[in-house]
Amino acid sequence: MDTGMVIIGAGESGVRAAFALREHGYAGPVTLIGAERHLPYERPPLSKEAMAADDPQAKTIADHQRLVEHGINLISETTATAVDRHARAVRLGDGSSLAYERLLLATGAAPRRLPFDHGPRMAYLRTFDDALAIRRHLRPGRPIAIIGGGFVGLELAAAARRLGAEVTLIEAQSRILKRGVPEEIAAVIDARHRAEGVKLIIEDGIADMSENSACVVIQLTSGRRLEADLAIIGIGAVAVTGLAQAAGLAIDNGIAVDEYLATSDPHIFAAGDCCSFPLALYGGRRVRLEAWRNAQEQGTLAAKNMLGMGEDKDGGEPHRFVPWFWSDQYDLGLQIVGLCDEGSHVVRRDMDNGAFILFHLAHDGRLVAASGIGAGMTVARDIQLAEMLIAKGVRPDAEKLVSLATKLKTLLAA
Amino acid sequence: MSNWIEACAADDIDEEDVIRFDHDGRTFAIYRSPDDEYFATDGVCTHEQVHLADGLVMDEIIECPKHNGRFDYRTGEAKGAPVCVNLRTYPVKVEAGKVLIAIG
């Protein structure tokens, strides 16, 4: 019997990989190492209105029983401190050591930090415990500052408004969601937040932040000064690469993996938010995705290749997924499939009740992305179809994309 | 004893499509397959509170509009992560152009 499979990181990607190893028939030891005290849980709800519940609960991915049934040994509240590639062993925080046949790094990402002293009134969101700490400050009529108009900040703004907090959101760029979201869609979200009573401050930076026992004081570069019960900082995330870097693995905006998700060491793989990988769909462009579905897909694929691929990559299955992302704010549902910046022009399909989808087409007419927004799940079905059109490399007739008389499904057959 | 309920007209559903049917506080999804057969399942995904009728039907699969959980709508079988709990299914018959489902 081999020494087993070790997975560092018990988030979406690591847990999915652990189960996928069993689904592919692997019978050796599977060990999952997680830093947190909780059972593995889903992170997307942490920033959403689920957090507005009186007593928010973590949405568990796998409970004890399922882990036991699948023979997955979860070591919680434990950090891996080093990877010894020569001995093929992981050293743990308690001083013990764990040998591996193949290792998966699913270490995720960590919030990008502001260079100010961090006290209890300056919060970052990554874990369920972070979310609970934030939740305690969200109270009717109380001022909350959110720094960063990305998805985490905007979703938290919606959750905080639901609880009646007075929300001010500060964005340094010229608009919210500058990275990866088309302006027309960001404008819908911007307008909705304002209508819901969020004060949006655009194109202003943070000059200084300090806190005392009563509040956090935020000095903006424009000279404005804000006080709040809590400042939530959501200015992006960075890949957690320390272990990989110390082990001498290649790093390139994340742990660099190839299309099989293998790192520069063929016995070590990486998946999820922590890795950058070549996206076959866009000519091998290297990207790093911070997305729930990507974490799932890569965890599954890494497990398959950890088992079925030789050191010369024979038998490996390459990555060929289309990136997909969603966000919920108030009753608005946004979905994006593909990478919008791959498009050179856009056509718009207007749907009922103000919902719309933008189709992003490349110079050669290929559909490379679709981004949509509307109430609830309005855009979901057409985004799913767009994903299939993108994967197939279809060059759809722009007029058909625009016209509601054309069912997108019919374009698949073409 | 089956309790047959009229859900919709047979031609309310396009081929290879799904509609939502609410009855007595419960939500169902009614499907018409590419082979012109009708099926019914619970209307909400087993992973999260999302209406499957907003999802996409391809062949015998319904894909949840939110997280792409996939089910075989003929049997209710969950086809893999993120869904691991099967959907409940219900008997369906078509009579005089009406779709009837038996809800227990």
Digit-coded pLDDT (tens) for A180-227: 899 999 999 999 999 999 999 999 999 999 999 999 999 999 999 999
Q: Minimal Cα–Cα distance from B24 to chain A, Å?
A: 23
Question: Residue A345 sits in which domain range?
Answer: 331-413
Indicate the Cα dihedral angle A368, A372, A376, A377, nearest 10°: -30
Residues A246 and A105 in one domain: yes
Residue A74, number of CB atoms within 10 A of its CB: 21
Q: What pLDDT is stored for residue B83 in this prediction?
A: 84
- How much is the ipTM here? 0.86
Q: Chain A partners of B20 at a C-beta cutoff of 8 Å?
A: none
Interface contact A377-B54, CB threshold 8 A: yes
- Examine residue B67 and state whether it is found in any structural domain, yes or no: yes
Q: Pick from A108, A100, A26: which is nearest to A268 by CA?
A: A100
Q: Which residues of A touch B63 (CB under 8 A)?
A: 384
Asked if A296 reaches chain B (Cβ–Cβ under 8 Å), the answer is yes
Q: Closest chain B residue to A299 measured between Cα atoms? A: B81
What is the dihedral sign for C-alpha A177, A182, A185, A188? positive
B99 found inside a domain = no
pLDDT at A80: 97
Q: Tokens standing for A233?
A: 């900082």
Q: Round the average pLDDT of chain B to a whole number and report it.
A: 92
Optimal mutation site among A297, A298, A381, interface B, most CBs of chain B within 10 A: A381
Which candidate from A16, A293, A384 shows the least CB-CB separation from B56?
A384
Task: Say if residue A148 is in the same domain as residue A200.
Answer: yes
Name the residue among B65, B81, B82 with its Cβ closest to that of A380.
B65
pLDDT band with cut points at 50, 70 and 90 for residue A299: very high
End-to-end CA distance of chain B: 8
Task: Give the whole-number percent of chain A exceeding pLDDT 70.
Answer: 100
Q: Tell me whether residue A375 is in a domain.
A: yes
Q: Do A229 and A118 share a structural domain?
A: yes
- A325: closest CA of chain B, how far (Å): 10
Q: Is residue A273 part of a domain?
A: yes
- DSSP SS3 for A13: helix
Shared-domain flag, residues A156 and A143: yes
- Give the C-alpha separation, A389 to A366, whole Å: 9
Chain A residues in contact with B65 by the CB 8 A cut-off are 377, 380-381, 384
pLDDT score of A316 more than 80 = yes
Measured between CB atoms, does A392 come within 8 Å of chain B? no
* Judgement on whether residues A283 and A304 belong to the same structural domain of the protein: yes
Give me the phi and psi of A348, to 5 degrees please.
-115, 130
Nearest to B65 among A16, A23, A381 (CB): A381
**Any chain B CB within 8 A of the CB of A68?**
no
Residues of B with CB under 8 A from a CB of A: 16, 50-51, 54-56, 63, 65-68, 80-82
| CATH of residue A363 | 3.30.390.30
pLDDT tens digits, B27-78: 999 999 999 999 999 999 888 889 999 999 999 999 999 888 899 999 999 9
Question: Within a domain: residue A326?
Answer: no
Q: How many domains are there within chain A?
A: 3
Query: Is residue A51 very low, low, confident or very high in pLDDT (cuts 50, 70, 90)?
Result: confident
Say whether both A10 and A102 belong to one domain. Answer: yes
More confident position, A247 or A117: A247
User: Residue B81 above 80 pLDDT?
Assistant: no
CATH code: domain of residue A84: 3.50.50.60
Domain end among A199, A233, A267: A233
A201 vs A94: which has the higher pLDDT = A201
Sequence-separated (6 or more) residues with CB below 8 Å from residue A402: A347, A348, A349
> Both A121 and A82 in a single domain?
no
Domain check: are A299 and A377 in the same one?
no
The minimum CA-CA distance between B51 and chain A, rounded to whole Å, is 8
Nearest chain A CA: its distance from B16 CA (Å): 10
Whether A174 and A242 share a structural domain: no
Q: Report how far residue A45's alpha carbon sits from residue A160's, in angstroms, rounded to the nearest whole number.
A: 14
Question: Is residue B5 included in any domain, yes or no?
Answer: no
Task: Give the model confidence (pLDDT) of A22-31 as tens digits.
Answer: 999 999 999 9
Average pLDDT of the residues of chain A: 95
DSSP state at residue B78 = B
Which parts of A280-366 are beta strand (E)?
285-287, 324-329, 332-338, 345-350, 356-361
Q: Is B78 domain-assigned?
A: yes
The per-residue pLDDT for A312 is 80
Domain termination residue (choose one: A233, A257, A280): A233
Residue A402 has pLDDT above 90, yes or no: yes
- Asked, for residue B97, whether it belongs to a domain, the answer is no
Q: Looking at beta carbons, which residues of chain B come within 8 Å of A67? A: none
Give the CA distances from residue A348 to residues A134, A361, A376, A412, in Å, rounded to whole numbers and listed in that order.
38, 11, 19, 18
By C-alpha distance, the chain B residue nearest A297 is: B81
- Residue A89 domain-assigned? yes
User: Which residue of chain A comes nearest to B56, CA vs CA?
Assistant: A381
On the question of pLDDT at A69 being above 70, the answer is yes
Smallest CA–CA separation between B103 and chain A, in Å? Answer: 26
Nearest to A384 among B50, B63, B81 (CB): B63
Total domains in chain B come to 1
Yes or no, beta carbons of A292 and B67 under 8 Å apart:
yes
Residue A395 in domain: yes
Please give the residue range of the domain that contains residue B56. 13-90
Q: Give the span between the Cα atoms of A118 and A115, in whole angstroms.
A: 9
Check if the beta carbon of residue B64 is closer than 8 Å to that of residue B83: yes
**pLDDT of B1:** 55
Q: Nearest CA to CA, how far is B94 from chain A (Å)?
A: 26
Q: For residue A296, is it within any domain?
A: yes
Instruction: Answer for the pair A34, A60: CB distance below 8 angstroms, yes or no.
Output: no
CATH number reported for the structural domain that contains residue B17 in this entry = 2.102.10.10
Same domain, A17 and A92: yes
Last residue of a domain, one of A202, A233, A264: A233
Closest-CA residue of chain A to B16: A409
A376 CB neighbours in chain B (<8 A) are: 54
Q: Is residue B42 part of a domain?
A: yes
- A412 three-state secondary structure: helix
At A108-159, the pLDDT tens digits run 999 999 998 788 999 999 999 999 999 999 999 999 999 999 999 999 999 9
Does residue A145 sit in the same domain as residue A215? yes
- Does residue A211 sit in the same domain as residue A251? no
Note whether residue A50 is domain-resident: no
**Is B80 part of any domain?**
yes
Q: Is the pLDDT of residue A1 over 60?
A: no
Q: Do the Cβ atoms of B81 and A384 come within 8 Å?
A: no
CB contact under 8 A, B56 and A326: no
